[in-house]
């Protein structure tokens, strides 16, 4: 079976033109990254800010072209620069952004937000569009009465549900989730993660899940890729990466993640009383 | 004697649909050299109660309390100018968004020296010397040069370090950190938490840590207060909170952590909490 998404040696450089006092320079945001994702699986991309994970998301979503390397979606080679992307390919990949407070147009009603992708990419009739949007609202755990409301009337978790609903309107094969829960509270985070898991089971969706929260990644992912300064320093199945990290950066990352278990707390309190006794 | 003691604090905001109680009957106590964590989701009133203690709420907020004493001084009857002498000096605060809470129009050096000038009345040379010392203490490389930089020239982690340097400039007795690491990466978060804990032990400061991250609580706190919808749900020392949480809300909060996931789906606060309330 061909993987839904396959990337070979993706490179992305940003060229910064020089000015009067500055020399021109090139930023290598992504330096030759390869990965593939099978249908119904989740690939998590982990890394600190500035490591190129969002750049990669933009390339996969066909928003930005890659400077080099090959991208295959459903086995078809994608070349944005050639300008031959049909709506059929575009609708296969959709994205959910990090901040649901910024990604929904405040001047549009929820119904219009959900129907817009259909208007742009398909020639569905108006009545059918409305029906599809209503059905999607229910699928993500909202109600029909929410159709005519504006984004400001919703909480953060509800907004992220709307953003997910919008991404699903075109029945994509692949959903790119760019830190979908990092702006949300713990309890709401659990709800949204459950929703994503339900949708994946029901629609056989493929996820590229970008996050810097390792506990979320461990819960969601099948495969994990750790990025550091534009390079994939670690790539493998989840249990392999979590149980036996190879690269020093991955180890640093694991060590830096705060742990909420009783043994860790006991060890810390013991250390603290020892230093207090010493001083 | 407790450093900060608040009894039965309530904060009300007037809204078009009547008064809204953001904080409802919260009491707390912090001793010198103690780390208290206040946990809760957004809207639980954890930030508002601390802003009330700092006196930073807008005039539309109605703050009432039976007792609000800091370091033996009653904060309730105090005039605004007297209070300004305390906040920023003996009691200071670090805010959540480091980049937004620094003034973009002034260099970070100016902003840290402003505190030293107003509260300690140091002269120019002494201010600069102390500012460099502080930047070194919080781990900003190349401090003398960095003083002349504007906030936009620094990364989020560096800005948070500047905020911490400003907050500890006058060796405060109490430091309130309002979600100090929420906007930062885990590796930077670790550095900032280590820094805060080091400063806290070195200066025997009282530290109030406001957060919604249970991991941060586990790594820093001595005592924990759990808040929900403006009310205190539970108060316990950190070990017993994680080992045997008493309130149903705390249990739900701990169960919703992805690392504690036992089955296929995460339990959500709503279903556990409602089930327990019935």
- The DSSP code sequence of A88-134 is HHHTTEEEE-S-TTTSS-TTS-HHHHHHHHHHHH----HHHHHHHHH
Residue of B nearest to A195 (CA): B265
Among A194, A198, A260, whose Cβ lies nearest the Cβ of B268?
A194
Residue B270 banded pLDDT, cuts 50, 70, 90: low
Residues of B in contact with A258 (CB under 8 A): 186, 189-190, 193, 213, 215-216, 218-219
Cross-chain Cβ contact A48/B214 below 8 Å: no
Residue A252 phi/psi, 5-degree rounding, is -60, -45
Give the distance from residue B167's alpha carbon to the nearest chain A alpha carbon, in angstroms: 24
In percent, the amount of chain A with pLDDT more than 70 equals 100
* Radius of gyration of chain A, Cα coordinates, nearest whole angstrom: 21
At what angle are helices B156-167 and B186-203 packed, to 10 degrees?
Answer: 10
Give B196 or B43, the one with higher predicted confidence.
Answer: B196
Write the pLDDT tens digit of every residue in B46-104.
889 999 999 888 888 899 999 999 999 999 888 889 998 999 899 999 988 888 889 99
Give per-residue burial for A99-124: e unless 16+ CB within 10 Å, then b.
bbeebbeeeebbbebbbbbbeeebee
Residue A88 phi/psi, 5-degree rounding, is -60, -40
CA-nearest of B181, B175, B149 to B90 is: B175
CA distance A149 to A111: 8
Write the pLDDT tens digit of every residue in B185-212.
888 888 889 989 998 998 889 999 998 8
pLDDT of B278: 44
Which residues touch A28 (CB under 8 Å, ≥6 apart)?
A11, A12, A13, A230
The tokens describing B163, both together, are 């905020």
State whether the Cα torsion A251-A257-A258-A261 is positive or negative.
Answer: negative
Cross-chain Cβ contact A265/B238 below 8 Å: yes
ipTM of the complex: 0.74
β-bridge mates for residue A44, sequence order: A209, A224
State whether the Cα torsion A241-A245-A248-A253 is positive or negative.
Answer: positive
Residues of A in contact with B157 (CB under 8 A): none
* Total-model pTM: 0.82
Do strands B206-211 and B35-39 pair parallel, antiparallel, or not at all (unpaired)?
A: parallel
**Token match 């996050």: residue?**
A211
pLDDT at residue B276 tops 80? no
CA-nearest of A98, A198, A242 to B266 is: A198
Cross-chain Cβ contact B212/A255 below 8 Å: no
Segment A199-220 shows an average pLDDT of: 90
Residue A88 banded pLDDT, cuts 50, 70, 90: confident
């Amino acid at each position: 079976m061909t993987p839904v998404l396959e990337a070979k040696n993706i490179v992305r450089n940003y060229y910064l033109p020089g000015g009067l006092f500055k020399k021109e320079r090139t930023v290598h945001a992504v330096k030759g990254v390869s990965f593939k994702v099978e249908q119904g699986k989740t690939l998590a991309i982990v890394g600190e800010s500035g490591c190129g994970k969002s750049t990669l998301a933009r390339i996969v979503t066909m928003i930005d072209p890659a400077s080099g390397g090959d991208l295959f979606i459903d086995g078809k080679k994608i070349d944005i620069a050639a300008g031959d992307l049909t709506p059929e390919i575009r609708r296969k990949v959709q994205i959910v952004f990090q901040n649901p407070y910024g990604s929904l147009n405040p001047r549009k009603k929820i119904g219009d937000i959900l129907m817009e992708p259909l208007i742009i990419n398909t020639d569905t009739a108006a009545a059918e569009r409305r029906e599809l949007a209503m059905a999607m609202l229910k699928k993500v755990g909202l109600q029909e009465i929410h159709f005519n409301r504006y984004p400001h009337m919703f909480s953060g978790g509800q907004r992220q549900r709307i953003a997910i609903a919008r991404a699903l309107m075109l029945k994509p094969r692949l959903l790119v989730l760019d830190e979908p829960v990092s702006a949300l509270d713990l309890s709401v985070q659990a709800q949204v993660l459950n929703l994503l898991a339900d949708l994946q089971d029901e629609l056989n969706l493929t996820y590229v899940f970008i996050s810097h929260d390792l506990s979320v990644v461990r819960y969601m992912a099948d495969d994990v890729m750790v990025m550091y300064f534009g390079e994939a320093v670690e790539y493998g199945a989840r249990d392999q990466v979590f149980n036996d990290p190879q690269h020093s950066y991955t180890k640093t990352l694991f060590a830096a993640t705060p742990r909420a278990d009783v043994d860790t707390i006991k060890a810390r309190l013991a250390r603290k009383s020892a230093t207090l006794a010493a001083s | 004697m407790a450093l900060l003691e608040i009894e039965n604090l309530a904060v009300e905001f007037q809204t078009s649909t009547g008064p809204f109680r953001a904080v409802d009957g919260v009491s707390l106590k912090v001793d010198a050299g103690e780390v208290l964590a206040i946990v809760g989701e957004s809207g639980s009133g954890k930030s508002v109660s601390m802003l009330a203690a700092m006196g930073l709420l807008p005039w539309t907020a109605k703050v009432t309390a039976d007792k609000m004493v800091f370091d033996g001084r009653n904060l309730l009857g105090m005039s605004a100018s007297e209070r300004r002498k305390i906040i920023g000096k003996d009691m200071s605060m670090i805010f959540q968004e480091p980049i937004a809470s620094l003034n973009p129009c002034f260099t970070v050096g100016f902003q840290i020296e402003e505190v030293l000038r107003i509260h300690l009345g140091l002269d120019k040379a002494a201010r600069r010397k102390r500012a460099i010392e502080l930047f070194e203490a919080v781990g900003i490389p190349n401090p003398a040069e960095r003083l002349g930089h504007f906030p936009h020239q620094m990364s989020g982690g560096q800005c948070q370090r500047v905020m911490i340097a400003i907050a500890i400039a006058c060796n405060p007795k109490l430091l309130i950190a309002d979600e100090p690491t929420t906007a930062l990466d885990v590796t930077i978060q670790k550095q900032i938490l280590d820094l805060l804990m080091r400063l806290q032990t070195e200066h025997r400061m009282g530290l109030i840590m406001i957060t919604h991250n249970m991991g941060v609580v586990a790594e820093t706190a001595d005592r924990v207060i759990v808040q929900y919808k403006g009310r205190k749900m539970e108060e316990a020392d950190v070990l017993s909170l994680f080992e045997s949480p008493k309130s149903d809300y705390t249990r739900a909060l701990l169960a919703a952590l992805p690392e504690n996931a036992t089955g296929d789906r995460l339990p959500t606060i709503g279903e556990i909490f409602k089930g327990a309330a019935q």
